[in-house]
Amino acid sequence: MWNYHLHSRCSFDADYPLTEMCRAAKKAGIMELCLTDHCDLVDEKGQPNDDFDWTAENRELLAARQCYPELTIRKGVELGQAILRPEAAEKILSEPDIDFVLGSMHDSPQGIDYYWIEYTSREQCLSLIEGYLQALLKLSKTDYFDSLAHLTYPLRYMRDRAGFPVDFHSQDDLVQEVLKTLVERGKALELNTSGFGSASGEPLPPEYIVKRYRQLGGELITIGTDAHEPKNIAAGLEQGMAMLRRCGFRYLTVYEKRKPLQQRI
């Protein structure tokens, strides 16, 4: 198994050293993983954020590689809101030896993380989904990422937490445009397995979107659990791999020096 989305204590919302994440990974049978700590260039209130520190990341990687030389441990980052601060994004990505970049949009067009928004109606949710997809489409046209992270991210909070019965079907055309852009530009789509453990039991994105990406010619697919603590290091990976096979994938994508490598599944 592989895991290309996990966080260490270098992320603002995680507390565990990478060595502990790797110990859990080895126990779970994961032999290749990539550290993708948060680098949100705009914070949850819409303000510029320059807190990310590659020095701390490199310390975590060095310690983990020394403790677990039998594991392949890649150097990555989850780069959030890159389209809002292009120069800052380019500075982050100038770091040597980056293997992999997840691209995410955690903030709404109003500059607030979807986590913090108070959801009051289904109509509000649908409007926010449209704005979110417009931002993803803009991001998909850049080189600030290798794989597009958790495409249906806002549903974590709109549906699974606030309880509004929404999905992305109302914006099928926009979803299609994002997926086509990924295919045309040689960018990967992430299957984020954290959703398997949510109230909906649905990964991010759901199976029908992953299948559509494959039907459009998409061949680059990464998988990650979005684990913030060791107990979740392998959560949903087996379900996710089975889903990818159902969608027609025979290879999973991993990265080295930001170059895609295909692994048979």
Q: Tell me the per-residue pLDDT of 48-64, one tens digit each, with 9 for 90 and over.
A: 999 999 999 999 999 99
* Token couple for 180: 């086509």
Q: Is the pLDDT of residue 98 over 90?
A: yes
To which residue do tokens 């500075």 refer? Answer: 91
The CA–CA distances, whole Å, from 123 to 14, 27, 98, 106 equal 33, 45, 41, 20
Q: Is the pLDDT of residue 43 over 90?
A: no
Q: Which of 44, 49, 22, 19 is nearest to 33 (CA)?
A: 22
Within 93-218, where are the H helices? 122-140, 155-158, 172-184, 207-215
Q: Is the pLDDT of residue 132 over 90?
A: yes
Q: What's the pLDDT score for residue 46?
A: 83
The CA–CA distances, whole Å, from 42 to 38, 108, 149 equal 11, 11, 17
CB distance 102 to 147 below 8 Å: yes
User: In degrees to the nearest 10, what's the CA dihedral of 179, 149, 204, 247?
Assistant: 50
Q: Please state, rounded to an integer, the average pLDDT across all residues of the chain.
A: 97
Say how far apart CA 100 and CA 261 lie, in whole Å: 11
Q: What is the DSSP letter of 11?
A: S
Give the range among 7-11, 169-173, 195-199 with minimum mean pLDDT.
195-199
Q: What is the pTM of this model?
A: 0.97
Q: What's the pLDDT score for residue 191?
A: 98
Long-range contacts of 85-92 (CB under 8 A, 24+ apart): 85/41, 85/42, 85/48, 86/142, 86/144, 88/41, 88/48, 88/50, 89/41, 89/144, 92/39, 92/41, 92/52, 92/54
SS3 3: strand
Determine the longest span between alpha carbons in the chain, in angstroms.
51
CB distance 43 to 18 below 8 Å: no
